[in-house]
Amino acid sequence: MKRYVDKGKGFFVSRHIVVCPKHKDITYPVLTCDQNNTEEKSLTMKLMLLQTYNESSKLISNDTDKETESETFSQYDDDRNSVISENSKKRRVDYYENPNECSNCSYYLNELEHKQEINQELREQNKELREHNSFLRTVASSNALNKKQNERSYANVLTNCPPKPSFVQLIVKPNTNFKGDTLQLIQKQVSVKTKAKVLNMKKTDNGNIFLKCSSEEDSQAILRVLNNENSADITAKICEKNNPMIKITNIVSIEDTTQMTKDIIERNQLTPGSLNIVHTFKQRNNKIAALAQVTGESYTKIMNSGYIFVGYQNCKVYDYFNLSTCKNCCGYNHSDRICREVFKRPIACYKCAGNHEAKDCQSSTKACINCRSANKYLTKKRSEDHEATDYGKCETYKAKWNQYVNNTNYPWTPQPITFQSSNTLVQ
């Protein structure tokens, strides 16, 4: 359209009609790809202008036979989709190529023929593009379906979690009047009088011995030998594991924790006594979160669902790991206040292990205070080039994590935390 306006050859009445400035009663219909979608007004205008063109043509060519005129200028059909025939186009072009006639009309006719060729090429290219787009939509739909099928929900992750290794841990305590070596006594009794498989045996600073057995049968065999034949010297028993803890979030209100515990058990069809709320605290959105201890069976049911019914609410549930980091010394399982007032430990930066707060840290070198402290006693040294809260790299944290999971009655091994920001440190 801009091409015709800039050259001053003529102007467009619509995208389908070209009008010659010298022969304003003569119009030329442009055949475009969207001819079938032309509006009603545009079609009506085409018919009116074409009729005027035919009448004007009769004045120009008085000697032309009426039948020739009829062949030269064809009319639109009633369905408004017919076009000028090739023969009539050719005659019109030949007629207006005469230098004595209108050069503008000749120019328009040749331009229109050229545009029609371009439109035909465009229609063929559009057909190829539509076929290609159809193929791409098919591929996209297939990819979307595969993505939906492979979506990892929390329930799916829990379903695919590897089962937790089964083992039993024993604790052996020496009696007050026993003066011998507890570790040597246990090693002799276990190796000679039983065929039990012991995975690990560790002595603590207070003289207690921890034994990790591969099965319940092995642990019972060791208990019988130690308690029956050495009851005067030592006492052995199975270490009871802690129940898993969950965090129930966005509770509107809690009036009585005992009544709410009973309501949760009944409303969620849990075994009586399988859930116990141990602590509640206020969230930032002014709602309440509750920490609850649950049995392994109830833990499986709740975590597979991801939600729990509390009164008229359906609250989101998360794993809660009682393995917090102190903001003062970066140690584990105690608060900032207890660390300063009871333990009286010096402050430690979780970024560089320096004797200052993390907000005042100017060092660009990372160092873990926990791994540095552990390396003083370990033969196999641990890497220290990470922050104390970078749990994905901290081997000391991983050891604490494994100890925590092994001492908890999880039905499967939960996913460990890989990073914890300073905002979540225990204060």
Tabulate helix, strand, coil % of the chain (nearest 5).
Answer: 40, 20, 40
Q: What residues have CB less than 8 Å from 189, skipping those under 6 apart?
A: 225, 226, 229, 230
**More reliable by pLDDT, 316 or 424:** 316
Q: Indicate whether 349 pLDDT > 80.
A: yes
CA 368 centroid distance within chain: 31
- Using a cut of 0.75, tell me whether the model's pTM lies above it: no
Q: Indicate whether 156 pLDDT > 80.
A: no
Total Cβ atoms within 10 A of residue 284: 5
What does the pLDDT look like over 8-63, one tens digit per residue?
Answer: 444 444 445 555 555 555 555 554 444 444 444 455 555 555 555 555 555 444 44
How high is the pLDDT of residue 99? 40
Task: Give me the amino acid identity at 344.
Answer: K
Total Cβ atoms within 10 A of residue 10: 21
Q: Distance between CA atoms of 62 and 90, rounded to whole angstroms?
A: 20
What does the pLDDT look like over 308-338, one tens digit per residue?
Answer: 999 889 999 999 988 888 999 999 988 888 9
* Confidence grade of residue 1 (pLDDT, cut at 50, 70, 90): very low
What does the pLDDT look like over 178-232, one tens digit per residue?
Answer: 777 888 888 888 888 888 888 888 888 778 888 888 888 888 888 888 888 777 7
**What's the N-to-C CA distance of the chain in angstroms?**
73
CA–CA distance from 421 to each of 188, 311, 354, 383, 390 (Å)? 48, 34, 18, 20, 8
Contact 116, 31 (CB under 8 A): yes
Q: Indicate whether 4 pLDDT > 50.
A: no
